[in-house]
Structure 1
Amino acid sequence: MTTTRVPVVFIHGLWLHATSWQAWADRFAEHGYDPVLPGWPNEPATVAEARANPEAVAGIGIDDVTAHYTAIIDQLPSAPVLVGHSFGGLFVQKLLGLGLGRAGVAIDPAQIKGVKALPLAQLRSGSPVLGNPANRKRSVALTRSQFRYGFGNAVSEAESDELFEKWAIPSPGRPLFEAAFANFSRNSPAAVNTANADRGPLLIISGGQDHTVPDVVTRGTFKQYAASSAVTELQQFPDRGHSLALDNGWGEIADASLTWLSGKAGVTAA
């Protein structure tokens, strides 16, 4: 008798390549899942190619990425688990809100429409893009020091630099503008159907030292689901920054996600 393995789609955020999920893919495969690691639309296959061709992703917005992952999910043999980090966490929420996926994990998810907190750390983290309106149509790369502030502030400088060298790529500026001004747009692409009571269970994970998506923002996202009867839970990791999904402590976050999926979400992988 052949058992169908549950697909799990990993969705990265800005400034990281899809291959940064490889360790997670291996861990989930060990637990019976069938991992899928697609990049964003037009994203080159390797970090080196992405750095050499930054304009390949210029101008891509939230709706483009949502449609891209919707098409990928539609081709899978069964409804997948969705795991996303940063903007990937926003896409997990959008896709679940659309009725796609059996369950989702949103790690330090980018700000959705309705969340009003705007801490200074978040403003500084987004300033390399938001500081120039022309970046809406461009691809933007972080410097080593900007990556250190936005991602690697809770790990050593040496580890932050190592993560930067290994995974950092240029990314489109448009999604950050769309999220930053979501509350001023009636039809913002950063809006999520948080009222969908029929969606799959959702776990939101917060890093307490995160500069890019501070804990107060993640808690604000969690509160957007207060009126929904669908399962929504929040787990906080007080000493972790925005690099929590790829730094030396990634396994703690991956294992917490696996435990929640098998317990609260009731997902049996194989």
Structure 2
Amino acid sequence: MKSSDSKTVVFVTGAFVTNSGWDQWKTYFESKGYKTHAPAWPYKDGTPAELRNRQPNDIQLAELTLEEVIDSYADFIKKLPEKPIIIGHSLGGLMTQVLINRGLGVAGVAIHSVPPQGVFPYEFSFLKAGWKALGLFTSLKKTYLMSLSDWQYAFTNGMSLEDQKKSYEENTIPESKTVARGGLTSAAKVDFAKPHVPLLLTSGDKDNIIPAHLNNRNFKAYKNSGSVLEYKEFPGRNHFVLGQSTWKEDADYILEWLDRN
């Protein structure tokens, strides 16, 4: 094993969903000898049903910022006995890139990552899938909950209606519009020229909200740092990649990549 021989993994959750989406990944990585953590965001430590019952008047969550979420992960990591491997999905992928940029991990994996500041997401499907979360012309004192139809387009396109509904009930939770807007601020800034530990970016060719070519531009934004950097596009993956039937293939690729680096 490489990746500095760390046996600790911190999974970083994205927006709109519960951290329990990492449960099968945690179990699988633990079966390979890793100690895993998937901490909830501030004010999201509850079941999806409990959190949805607070919608839309969860003021604490509504006022949460992206910077505060990133700092909560940074604080969690700093209390661990060793630097971890950091693996994040979607907005959690962006946070992974930021945390790696801060030197807090021994390796990073950004799965279908929201792009950092400076990588402009001009794709129509990204705008269609994500604009409602910004809450333009709505109160920032109220949280946003993705509808089933939006979930079907942004996360689970191509899946059966039964699986779309099941995944919606099990995963979707209210979100802070302020966090969503944080992707447009300096909180989402990465120094692409700074040397870093091994970093893998993955994408899926069926992802609507974070299209593969957007992930590829994210990858190409890293300049001549001389650091280990890899990009991998998987066929058939939508944005619900963590819960698709192919999730173990993705996990195996990541584990093998960690062994190589």
TM-score by length of 2: 0.92
Aligned length, in residue pairs: 254
Q: Aligned pair 1:203/2:204, yes or no?
A: no
Name the structure 2 match of 1:42. Answer: 43
Query: Aligned ranges for residues 64-103 of structure 1 at < 5 Å?
Result: 64-103=68-107
Q: After superposition, give the CA deviation of every residue in 1:217-246 in whole Å (9 maximum; x if it has no partner).
A: 111110111322111100001321101111
What is the alpha-carbon root mean square deviation over aligned residues? 1.6
Name the structure 2 match of 1:242. Answer: 239
Report if aligned partners of 2:48, 2:171 keep a CA contact under 8 Å in 1: yes
Q: Aligned pair 1:176/2:174, yes or no?
A: no
Q: After superposition, give the CA deviation of every residue in 1:140-185 in whole Å (9 maximum; x if it has no partner).
A: 1011111000000032222121111111111111232232x34xxx
Q: Secondary structure of the residue that 1:174 maps to in structure 2?
A: helix
The Cα shift of 1:26 comes to: 0.3
Report if aligned partners of 2:48, 2:169 keep a CA contact under 8 Å in 1: no
List 4+ stretches of structure 1 deviating above 4 A.
none
The Cα shift of 1:138 comes to: 3.4
Structure 1: gaps spanning 5 or more residues: 183-187, 266-270
The Cα shift of 1:51 comes to: 1.4
Call closer, same or farther: CA 1:131–1:43 in 2, change over 3 Å. Answer: closer
Q: Secondary structure of the residue that 2:226 maps to in structure 1?
A: coil
CA distance in 1, matches of 2:251, 2:141: 34
The Cα shift of 1:12 comes to: 0.9
Instruction: Write the letter of the residue equivalent to 1:18.
Output: N
Report if aligned partners of 2:135, 2:177 keep a CA contact under 8 Å in 1: no
Query: Aligned ranges for residues 93-172 of structure 1 at < 5 Å?
Result: 93-130=97-134, 132-134=136-138, 136-172=140-176
Name the structure 2 match of 1:253. Answer: 250
TM-score by length of 1: 0.89
Name the structure 2 match of 1:192. Answer: 190
Q: Secondary structure of the residue that 2:11 maps to in structure 1?
A: strand
CA distance in 1, matches of 2:15, 2:123: 19
Instruction: Write the letter of the residue equivalent to 2:138.
Output: A
Call closer, same or farther: CA 1:103–1:133 in 2, change over 3 Å. Answer: farther
Name the structure 1 match of 2:9. Answer: 8
Report if aligned partners of 2:13, 2:40 keep a CA contact under 8 Å in 1: yes
Identity %: 32
Report if aligned partners of 1:150, 1:212 keep a CA contact under 8 Å in 2: yes
